[in-house]
Structure 1
Amino acid sequence: MPEQTERPTLEVCLSPALLHLYDLAQKIVVVIDVLRATSTICTALYHGAQKVIPVDSVEKCMEIGRQLGAVTAGERDGHIAPGLEHGNSPLEYPASFIQNKTLVLTTTNGTRLLHMAKDAEEIVIGSFLNLSAICAYLLSRNKPVMLACAGWKDRINLEDSLLAGAIIHRIKSHFDIQCDAALIVEQLYEATHHRLMEHMQQASHYQRLTRHGFQQDIAYCLTIDGANVLPVYRDGAIALA
């Protein structure tokens, strides 16, 4: 009989507050913040940004922006953070604006999680916009994977869980999955994937963003392969692989 090759593991962390429970060494971590940090990062790079520098504070964002002559952007609780030029809407970053520029970005949840995952072997950026690129990369690397959801202020959220489920749905046969969180999110995605937008209307972040008039952002962020690139986080910056 042919020799059986051992499949790499795949796990899901549903909240940054749980990340300390996992060993990230020698793992590829997919950072997921669907609404809206990782969607904005994918969009900016897809439209020609040179790189995105994620930072954890508004002050640092402004300082690095001045040093580099970069676009400074970010939000706190869904609003453009005071002192910054732009927000966290992916629709703010068409090619006509962002091409060949550096974007310095700070957000409530996603940029914080990027820094928390520093012990990983690799960190890549995941969204519905680059679902196929992420899945193809994970299959090609054939290494242990952690799908890390940014959530909302350490609370589990629906949209990040759905994306984790979508990734697992596509690649599960190539991985050893012994993680209940992975089973939960895949079952959630399988039950709702044909009506994602309708299902999202129950989500707390949907309600939060629609109160601020960001309905178009939500629809865009749920568009599969709308910005199908592979952003990789290395040496403090995110660029295309």
Structure 2
Amino acid sequence: MARLEYMDVYFSVQAFQEEDLRGKSAVIIDVLRAASSMVTALNNGARKIIPVGAMEDAVRIAQTMDAKDYLLCGEQNGNTIEGFHLGNSPLEYTKEVVADKTLIINTTNGTKAIKKASLANKIYVGCFLNQQSILEGLKEHDDDVVLICSGWQGKMSLEDTLFAGSVIYEMCEGKLPENTKDGVKIAFSLYEKYKENLEQSIGTSDHAIRLKELVPDGDIPFVCQKNKFDVLPTMKDGILINFNG
């Protein structure tokens, strides 16, 4: 199991440099909503996911593929990108829509965090929906692990920090050792404070309020469900696949 004394938490994409991850493994967190959508898509039979850092990259990759094999997905500032097949609500990623498809995804925060983590030994994508799978995956690690909260345009987000804290809380069974890094202490403490009211806390977070007019009513309750899917999205050669699939 990854050791808590060597674990760290970054609270936004801007909180780390690419070199900071060399020799470490990373869990990319974007509860609202990229990670939740990717986990749901892989659970519902998507063949693979190609995360990209810019819309132009998504379109360029799509032009090399057969139109029946892929879906362009994602958002910009919460809005579905014009001309894309799907937005960023996990409720859109049903089995009927995504099964056997390659998803090319660009989002404001989550996919940028994935791309920036490219030097990590291993990259996972995590959220409440696949928390147990993340915990099981981390049991296999003896390298340092960093939990990367995608945040919002360089700022900390409550929902991502709460998920990081939840992972830490489960790893130490609610008893945090003293010899942990400050980021771990902060995430653990926030989760300990809000864990009994996750849905309400996330629903009143800055990001949820910012997206209120754009997010379907069911998204917040959906993304707050723990351990709904046995899915471990893992990067391999720039592509996300389900390691548990």
The question of a shared fold, defined as TM-score above 0.5 by the shorter chain, is answered with yes
Cα distance change, pair 120–21 in 1 and its aligned pair in 2 (3 A)? closer
Runs of at least 5 residues in structure 1 that lack an aligned partner in the other structure: 1-5
Question: 1:8, 1:145 within 8 Å by CA — same for their partners in 2?
Answer: no
How many correspondences in the alignment? 236
SS of equivalent to 1:211: coil
SS of equivalent to 1:225: coil
Question: 1:74, 1:86 within 8 Å by CA — same for their partners in 2?
Answer: yes
SS of equivalent to 1:132: helix
Question: 2:203, 2:220 within 8 Å by CA — same for their partners in 1?
Answer: no
Larger helix share, 1 or 2: 1
Could you tell me which residue of structure 2 aligns to residue 106 of structure 1? 106
SS of equivalent to 1:140: coil
Could you tell me which residue of structure 2 aligns to residue 63 of structure 1? 60
Could you tell me which residue of structure 2 aligns to residue 140 of structure 1? 140
Give the deviation of 1:178 after TM superposition. 2.6
Q: Output the aligned Cα RMSD.
A: 2.0
Could you tell me which residue of structure 2 aligns to residue 178 of structure 1? 180
Cα distance change, pair 83–7 in 1 and its aligned pair in 2 (3 A)? closer
Cα distance change, pair 217–108 in 1 and its aligned pair in 2 (3 A)? same
Aligned mates of 1:29, 1:198 — CA distance in 2: 28
Aligned mates of 1:146, 1:204 — CA distance in 2: 24
Could you tell me which residue of structure 1 aligns to residue 28 of structure 2? 31
Aligned mates of 1:7, 1:152 — CA distance in 2: 26
SS of equivalent to 1:182: helix
Aligned mates of 2:127, 2:114 — CA distance in 1: 14
Q: Deviations over 1:218-239 (max 9, x none)?
A: 1111110122310101211100
Aligned mates of 2:169, 2:13 — CA distance in 1: 22
1:106-125 aligned within 5 A: 106-125=106-125
User: Structure 2 length normalisation: TM-score?
Assistant: 0.90
Give the deviation of 1:82 after TM superposition. 1.7
Give the deviation of 1:118 after TM superposition. 1.0
Could you tell me which residue of structure 1 aligns to residue 236 of structure 2? 234
Q: Deviations over 1:12-71 (max 9, x none)?
A: 011111112972122110000110011111000011111000011112212222322310
Question: 2:89, 2:215 within 8 Å by CA — same for their partners in 1?
Answer: no
1:162-241 aligned within 5 A: 162-172=162-172, 178-241=180-243
SS of equivalent to 1:67: coil
Could you tell me which residue of structure 1 aligns to residue 41 of structure 2? 44
User: Structure 1 length normalisation: TM-score?
Assistant: 0.92
SS of equivalent to 1:125: strand
Give the deviation of 1:121 after TM superposition. 0.5
Could you tell me which residue of structure 1 aligns to residue 151 of structure 2? 151
Aligned mates of 1:44, 1:211 — CA distance in 2: 23
Partner amino acid, structure 2, of 1:44: A
SS of equivalent to 1:223: coil
Aligned mates of 1:114, 1:213 — CA distance in 2: 23
SS of equivalent to 1:35: coil
